[in-house]
Amino acid sequence: MPMVSMRQLLDEAAQGGYGVGAFNVHNMEQIQAIMEAARATSSPVIIQASRGARSYTNDRFLYHLMMAATELYPEIPVALHQDHGNSPETCKSAIDLGFTSVMMDGSLEEDGKTPASFEYNVAVTREVVEAAHARGVTVEGELGTLGGIEDGVGSGEVHLTDPDQAVEFVAATGIDALAVAIGTSHGAYKFSRKPDGEVLAMSLIEEIHQRLPETHLVMHGSSSVPRELVDEINRYGGQMKESWGVPVEEIQRGIQHGVRKINVDTDSRLAITGAIRKHLAEHPSDFDPRDYLKPARAAMQQVIEARMTAFGQAGHAGDYEPIPLEEMRERYRTGALA
Ligand code: G3H
Ligand code: 13P
Ligand code: ZN
């Protein structure tokens, strides 16, 4: 099956009332782990690459690994997505490379750090929507900035997504999916206690979904940071601090209220690192990378399968045929997807 647009995956997910995990990759073993998990659970899936991942893999390696994935797993609908594009140029280069979806993260300026103005965000996102939809490619935008409520951002300010602004932003940009800031942050240290309504604003998702029932919502920073994965790392020489991630039940609550894309990277990294540490600690004389990369890949697959099942995408791989990007382009042009 050729790669499909993320818009199609998310429209199908909305119809079926489930969420789709968007898993970050930067090497072959991670792509294999995700595709094996998708096959084992019969799941459609989003594979995403950050700018850092694109530079680490060199775009060409990444692209051809993804081509191999579609060739070897023809029954799996898979979208290739640019995660956190920092500029229209980054997004356009991804489209040129063959990505079927891009995120223009105009919530931050091009440095990827400084919170941007609403006007800047609208302008760069609108520019990407025009370029992407003309090629049938999906666009995700972001409003509000990640960074936990506990961390604050900059001077302690918190930039949760404002529902009124969200309505204005979607109307002004024409995006397909909206990433909302509800108090999560990237990485392994999200919360210093199990998150409750004070640090994880799930109610905001409900409000935004009521106001924008047709817009697919995206949760970033959605790793659950399972205690057992952190313990495994520390048992074999790691030094990770105690922390809490986003409980799977909270993500499931989000899925009931319009969350269709759930971004997970850290949980894969934890699974891989724990398995490699364990293997090397138990087999100190091993030096063939395959000896520790195989259990690492299997550990990541196990986490991804669990997420696919919890998000509800399992069992849906065979529900539909891919719509070619040319046809998506036509649907955008005629307003059929507005
Ligand atoms: O957006 C965050 C993802 O976890 C990617 O992280 O920039 O280290 O590849 P990265
Ligand atoms: P995690 O660090 O929680 O896995 O979040 C990943 C993410 O949001 C990528 O965009
Ligand atoms: Zn993110």
Query: Taking a C-beta distance cutoff of 8 angstroms, is the pair 82, 49 a contact?
Result: yes
- Cβ of 174 closer than 6 Å to ligand 2, yes or no, is no
Q: Whose CA is nearest to atom 4 of ligand 1?
A: 265
- Positive or negative torsion for Cα 254, 91, 322, 307: negative
Span from the CA of 287 to the centroid of ligand 2 (angstroms): 31
The bound ligand whose nearest atom lies closest to the alpha carbon of 229 is 2
Neighbours of 154 (CB within 10 A): 12
Residue 158 predicted with pLDDT over 80: no
Ligand nearest to the CA of residue 245, numbered in listed order:
2
Residue 11 CB less than 6 A away from ligand 2:
no
pLDDT of residue 71: 97
Determine the pLDDT at residue 175.
Answer: 98
**In the predicted model, is pLDDT for residue 21 greater than 80?**
yes
- Contact 186 CB / ligand 1 (< 6 Å): yes
Mean pLDDT score across all residues of the chain: 95
pLDDT score recorded for residue 148: 56
Report the nearest atom of ligand 2 relative to the CA of 219: 8
Q: How far is the CA of 85 from the centre of ligand 1 (A)?
A: 11
pLDDT reported for residue 205: 97
Token pair belonging to 25:
């990759």
Nearest residue by C-alpha to atom 8 in ligand 1: 52
297: left (phi over 0), alpha (psi -120 to 50) or beta: alpha
Residue 282, burial from CB neighbour count under 10 angstroms (0-12, 13-18, 19+) = exposed
pLDDT value of position 155: 42
Distance 109 CA to ligand 1 centre (A): 17
Pairwise CA distance, residues 315 & 321, whole Å? 15
Q: If DSSP codes are grouped into helix, strand and coil, which group holds residue 104?
A: strand
- Look at residue 150 in the predicted model and tell me its pLDDT: 56
pLDDT at 156: 46
- Dihedral sign, Cα of residue 106, residue 107, residue 112, residue 116: positive
| pLDDT tens profile 226-263 | 999 999 999 999 999 999 999 999 999 999 999 999 99
SS3 80: strand
Mean local confidence (pLDDT), 114-140? 97
Q: Per residue in 55-94, pLDDT tens? A: 999 999 999 999 999 999 999 999 999 999 999 999 999 9
pLDDT score of 145: 87
Closest ligand to C-alpha of residue 186 is 2
Q: Does any ligand 1 atom lie closer than 6 A to the CB of residue 84?
A: yes
**Looking at the predicted structure, is the pLDDT value of residue 154 above 80?**
no
